[in-house]
Each structure stands twice: as C-alpha cells, then as structure tokens.
Amino acid sequence: MSDYKCILPFDDQSPSFTYGFQAGRIWSLLLDGEPFEETFCGDILDLVQRMQTRFEGLVEGPMKIDKLADDWYTISLD
C-alpha cells in the first residue's frame, strides 16, 4: 500500500474532475518547459504518455515516466 493520495480535496469528487486537474497541471508544467517532477495516478498514464510524445523535441532535457508504487507514477523533465 502506498502513502500517495490527493492532498487537495475537490468540491467535485468525481474521478474525471480529479484526473482532468492532474492532466492540466502536467500540461501546464510541460508548457513552462522548466525542470519538474510531478506525481500522478495511473488512471491517466495513457494521457500523460501522449503528452510526453506531443512535447518531445519541444522542451529541452529528457522527459521520463517512472512507476512509484501501486498505481502511482512520476513524470519528470530534467
């Protein structure tokens, strides 16, 4: 069992809202182009992989996705 969880409860508790928020945050970080590391749940792994493909060559430094525990991952831009 991992200790990862959503740290900000949303008024809208639907999974689609939470996943959209996570995806939007990652998209924003990629647009910024600065180094970062962000944790996300595996339910949006496919979407994050598509973002990674979209931004390849548009940002400096390597992007990588790593599995943490259970169904949690990180994406990082170095």
Measured between alpha carbons, how far is 70 from 63 in angstroms, rounded to an integer? 21
Q: Look at residue 47 in the predicted model and tell me its pLDDT.
A: 95
Instruction: Judge whether 5 lies within some domain.
Output: no
Q: Look at residue 76 in the predicted model and tell me its pLDDT.
A: 96
| pLDDT, tens only, 11-61 | 777 888 889 989 999 999 999 999 999 999 999 999 999 999 999 988 988
Measured between alpha carbons, how far is 18 from 6 in angstroms, rounded to an integer? 9
Instruction: Judge whether 46 lies within some domain.
Output: yes
Structural domains counted in the chain:
1
Measured between alpha carbons, how far is 2 from 64 in angstroms, rounded to an integer? 21
Domain with 49 in it? 15-77
Q: Look at residue 10 in the predicted model and tell me its pLDDT.
A: 64
pTM score, two decimals?
A: 0.81
Q: Look at residue 1 in the predicted model and tell me its pLDDT.
A: 46
Instruction: Judge whether 22 lies within some domain.
Output: yes
Nearest to 37 by CA among 26, 23, 49, 53: 26
